[in-house]
Amino acid sequence: MTTNSTESTKASVNIAGTERWVTAFVGGGLATYGLLRSPAPGNALSGYAMTAAGLYLIFRGATGHCPAYSALGVNPAIEAEETSQKLGDVGIKVTHAVSIQKPIGELYAYWRDFTNLPHIMDHLNSVTVQDGTKSHWVAKAPLGRTVEWDAELINDEPNKVIAWKSLPDADVINAGAVTFKTATQGRGTEVRVEISYAPPAGKLGAIIAHILGEDPKKQLDDDLRHFKQMMEAGERPTTEGQASGRGPDKDQVK
Amino acid sequence: MKALCWYGKNDVQVSTVPDSTILNPRDAIIKVTSTAICGSDLHLYNGFIPSMEKGDILGHEFMGEVVALGSAVKNLSIGDRVVVPFGIACGNCYYCQHDQWALCDNSNPNALMAEELYGYAPSGLYGYSHLYGGYAGGQAEYARVPFADIGPIKVPEGLTDDQVLFLTDIFPTGYQAADNCGIKPGDTVAVWGCGPVGQFAIQSAYLLGAERVIAMDHIAERLAMARDKSHADIVNYEEQDNLFETLKEMTGGRGPDHCIDAVGLEAHGTGLGNIYDKTKELARLASDRSNVLRQAIQCCGKGGTVSIPGVYGGFLDKFPMGVAFAKGLTLKMGQTHTQKYLAPLMERIQKGDIDPTFVISHHMTLDEAPAGYKMFKEKTDSCTKIVLKP
Ligand SMILES: NC(=O)c1ccc[n+]([C@@H]2O[C@H](COP(=O)([O-])OP(=O)(O)OC[C@H]3O[C@@H](n4cnc5c(N)ncnc54)[C@H](O)[C@@H]3O)[C@@H](O)[C@H]2O)c1
Ligand SMILES: [Zn+2]
Ligand SMILES: [Zn+2]
């Protein structure tokens, strides 16, 4: 992030009111928007994919060409405009991919039920789905507090892509998508997540940073690893709480 | 419960620790009836393996009786007598499904840490550093066994602990080392190291059809074991001016068809290479001593395989890549895919093809384990393999 972007996001945060703990934000893996990468050749979006120089293009690309989008009854043109204004052409983008030894349908179905996501994303307390497209997210913040936001499903093509994004007056503007693709010859399914967001400065920014950890890429990496573990092994491997010869005063390695 | 814990280089102690408990649905708890000390444990004892923590419970070769089961384990019952493979694996990922259990994607809770070092993470192991998952080991009264529905194998009636205990690691490890050579009838295999892994590699090479095995070490009683129990031709490398020439001469000028490094990163030795390694290691410029590996590559005949069950952890120096390239060698290595070999090797034991008890030199109680580590390290009292009875 450049100084510039910090400045511009600060401005938008002030307008939205930083003191409100209710925010729209997205942790590694949740946010989002969509269809950042075209799942199949020939898709109208491919030209925009992630090679687009900035979020502006990403948002424009997705909203402008997604057939599922208008079916959701939102006005993509206005939203794209707003979002891109707030973001400028900067922001943080993280991407990660994982291969999972399960049929595409199972993986899609698990992710599509957002209430499952707290099982794989440790920074989430809960996700509740309010109607077909809107959901409410509660994430853990320091000192037992929470950060909450509303998100909207903006693209959903079964076994291909799920995309969602923060609602327009979010303090943290974010976008992202998860795409599913059957891998070659018995290699399972490739799951790819791309997330873009512009965290605000100030207190809220610090909380966001805390939730994301020092490294948003690592957080996304963890989330997808957990997704894979749950889907393949049915549980997440752990040593937490196991016996050791360390006294309670000794630091336990995670 | 009592457990053998690592507190630093040359410092292991039996401590009273909290009891092992079920942490995941696919877990089981085993009351350990037998557990062994391995050459791999010596690498921890000697401080060669990074990411150990004071208080880690050691031990990856253990068996016992099931005393508790997680809700998802349906194929075992309380009271079952099982042998536990030393690698922890989920059974469902691509690698597990292709019999590459040591590469399991889902069993290492510290996968990220391992990825930073190795790019991709190996499976978790019992009692073998946090890089390999940080799991508590089985040199204890009780042990937690993750993915218990897939790993442990039930012991058929009539077989003693001592007969089947080494299915946990060293028998499959020696067997995989030989298996990796792709032995053809008539082949000669050279094995560096006559420790337990070397012994099982020798015997496995014969089981897989080798004509002749040449075994090297410098410890007289281990060489004698290789000759008398494992039927190898033996070479005391310390008595050789030129090991390469010795092996060349023994193989009619062709060199061994395959070479097995059953020593690993703590190779002893003489000669320039070893002095060089030791100096580097002291200066922290290299982590592993590759004396044996260099020799194996140098001595191997053209088109052969160098199979490496011996453990390496970090970086090697003066690796003779040009030699390997010029002779068109194949290098195979890695932690053992133990689960792959459990059933077939159990059958071999039952049929009497092999009696793994021949490597055991000592039985001890868990309390005696610290003395056992010292003895095994120093190879005193003709120590080849110690079995602990907690
Ligand atoms: N790949 C795996 O999954 C796996 C599993 C178990 C053990 N291991 C490894 O296998 C190796 C052997 O294990 P072990 O239990 O037999 O250990 P060990 O320490 O009992 O035996 C090693 C033997 O190598 C001999 N040796 C040392 N330097 C030598 C040299 N220059 N030339 C010839 N011999 C030499 C020693 O005298 C000793 O007898 C270790 O590195 C161990 O960590 C690997
Ligand atoms: Zn071992
Ligand atoms: Zn696996």
What are the tens digits of pLDDT across the range B323-378? 999 999 999 999 999 999 999 999 999 999 999 999 999 999 999 999 999 999 99
For residue A32, the SS3 value is coil
Q: How far is CA B183 from the centre of its chain?
A: 20
Cβ-nearest to A242 among B23, B51, B130: B23
In this prediction, residue B33 carries a pLDDT of 98
- In angstroms, what is the span from residue B125 Cα to ligand 1's centroid? 18
Answer yes or no: do B55 and A250 touch at CB < 8 A. Answer: yes
Give A189's pLDDT tier (boundaries 50, 70, 90): very high
Three-state secondary structure of A214-246? CCHHHHHHHHHHHHHHHHHHCCCCCCCCCCCCC
Answer yes or no: do A101 and B25 touch at CB < 8 A. Answer: no
Max CA-CA distance within chain B? Answer: 61
In this prediction, residue B341 carries a pLDDT of 98
Q: List the end-to-end C-alpha distance of chain B, in Å, as a whole number.
A: 10
How many Å lie between the alpha carbon of A247 and the closest alpha carbon of chain B? 8
Q: For ligand 1, is residue B134 a contact (CB within 6 Å)?
A: no
pLDDT over threshold 50, residue A5: no
Show residues of chain A in contact with B121, CB under 8 Å: none
Q: Which of B27, B7, B8, B31 is nearest to B19 (CA)?
A: B31
| Separation between Cα atoms, residue A49 and residue A41, nearest integer Å | 11
pLDDT over threshold 60, residue A86: no
When pLDDT is averaged across residues A3-13 and rounded to a whole number, the result is: 30
| A209-223, B19-33, B199-213: range with lowest mean pLDDT | A209-223
Q: For ligand 1, is residue B38 a contact (CB within 6 Å)?
A: yes
Distances in whole angstroms, Cα of residue A40 to Cα of each of A22, A68, A100, A180, B96: 37, 15, 19, 11, 30
Q: What is the CA radius of gyration of chain A?
A: 18
**Is the ipTM reported for this complex over the cut 0.90?**
yes
- In angstroms, what is the span from residue A188 Cα to ligand 3's centroid? 13
A184 to chain B, any CB pair closer than 8 A? The answer is no
- In angstroms, what is the span from residue B154 Cα to ligand 1's centroid? 28
Ligand nearest to the CA of A228: 3
In this prediction, residue B1 carries a pLDDT of 96
| A211-220, B22-31, B43-52, B56-65: range with lowest mean pLDDT | A211-220
Helix H or strand E segment including B203: helix B196-207
More reliable by pLDDT, B366 or A209: B366
How many Å lie between the alpha carbon of A228 and the closest alpha carbon of chain B? 8
Answer yes or no: do B109 and A239 touch at CB < 8 A. Answer: yes
Residue found by looking up tokens 């550093």 in the block? B129
Q: For ligand 1, is residue B288 a contact (CB within 6 Å)?
A: no
Answer yes or no: do A99 and B94 touch at CB < 8 A. Answer: yes
pLDDT over threshold 70, residue A57: no
pLDDT over threshold 80, residue A186: yes
Q: Which of A194, A198, A216, A169 is nearest to A48 (CA)?
A: A194
A241 to chain B, any CB pair closer than 8 A? The answer is yes
Could you list which residues have their CB under 5 Å from ion ligand 2? B 38, 40, 169
What are the tens digits of pLDDT across the range A33-54? 222 222 333 332 222 222 222 2
Cβ-nearest to A221 among B109, B112, B147: B112
- Mean pLDDT, chain A, rounded, equals 66
pLDDT over threshold 60, residue A23: no
In this prediction, residue A148 carries a pLDDT of 80
| Separation between Cα atoms, residue B270 and residue B238, nearest integer Å | 8
In this prediction, residue A140 carries a pLDDT of 80
At residue B225, what is the residue type? M
- Which residues lie below 8 Å from residue B252, measured CB to CB, with a gap of 6+? none
Query: φ and ψ at B90, to 5 degrees?
Result: -80, -25
Q: How many CA atoms lie within 13 A of A3 on its CB side?
A: 0
B204's tokens: 């496995």
A203 to chain B, any CB pair closer than 8 A? The answer is no
The β-bridge relationship of strands B61-69 and B81-84 is antiparallel
Instruction: Look at phi and psi of residue B137 and say left if phi exceeds 0, alpha if psi is from -120 to 50, else beta.
Output: beta
Share of chain B above pLDDT 70, in %: 95
b/e per residue A27-44 (b: at least 16 CB within 10 A): bbbbbbbbbbbbbeeebe
| Separation between Cα atoms, residue B303 and residue B287, nearest integer Å | 29
When pLDDT is averaged across residues B266-277 and rounded to a whole number, the result is: 66
What are the tens digits of pLDDT across the range B41-63? 999 999 989 899 999 999 999 99
More reliable by pLDDT, B22 or A219: B22
Q: For ligand 1, is residue B340 a contact (CB within 6 Å)?
A: no
Cβ-nearest to B56 among A188, A222, A244: A244
In this prediction, residue A170 carries a pLDDT of 65
What are the tens digits of pLDDT across the range A96-155? 999 999 999 999 999 999 999 999 988 889 999 988 799 888 888 777 778 788 889 999
Answer yes or no: do A243 and B3 touch at CB < 8 A. Answer: yes
What are the tens digits of pLDDT across the range B195-247? 999 999 999 999 999 999 999 999 999 999 999 999 999 999 999 999 999 99
Q: Which of B100, B303, B36, B310 is nearest to B182 (CA)?
A: B303
When pLDDT is averaged across residues A69-92 and rounded to a whole number, the result is: 43
In this prediction, residue A172 carries a pLDDT of 65
When pLDDT is averaged across residues B86-96 and rounded to a whole number, the result is: 98
In this prediction, residue B20 carries a pLDDT of 97
- Which residues lie below 8 Å from residue B297, measured CB to CB, with a gap of 6+? B259, B306, B320, B323, B324, B329
What are the tens digits of pLDDT across the range B272-323? 566 666 666 665 556 677 889 999 999 999 999 999 999 988 888 889 999 9
pTM of the model: 0.85
Per-position DSSP letters for B222-238, written without gaps between them = HHHHHHHTT--EEEEGG
In this prediction, residue A53 carries a pLDDT of 23
Q: For ligand 1, is residue B177 a contact (CB within 6 Å)?
A: no
Three-state secondary structure of A180-223? EEECCCCCCEEEEEEEEEECCCHHHHHHHHHHHCCCHHHHHHHH
User: Which atom of ligand 1 approaches the CA of B335 most closely?
Assistant: 3
| Separation between Cα atoms, residue B27 and residue A89, nearest integer Å | 49
What are the tens digits of pLDDT across the range A133-146? 998 888 887 777 78
**Do residues A205 and A199 touch, judged by C-beta distance below 8 A?**
yes
- Which domains, from first to last, does chain B contain? 2-169+336-389 (3.90.180.10), 171-333 (3.40.50.720)
- Which domains, from first to last, does chain A contain? 2-80 (no CATH), 86-238+247-253 (3.30.530.20)
Answer yes or no: do A239 and B90 touch at CB < 8 A. Answer: no
More reliable by pLDDT, A140 or B107: B107
Give B261's pLDDT tier (boundaries 50, 70, 90): very high
In this prediction, residue B284 carries a pLDDT of 57
In this prediction, residue B314 carries a pLDDT of 82
Ligand nearest to the CA of B375: 1
Give B270's pLDDT tier (boundaries 50, 70, 90): low
**Do residues B96 and B57 touch, judged by C-beta distance below 8 A?**
no
| Separation between Cα atoms, residue A174 and residue A93, nearest integer Å | 10
pLDDT over threshold 80, residue A239: yes
Mutate to test the pocket of ligand 1, among B103, B129, B197, B234 (most ligand atoms within 8 A of CB): B197
In this prediction, residue B280 carries a pLDDT of 65
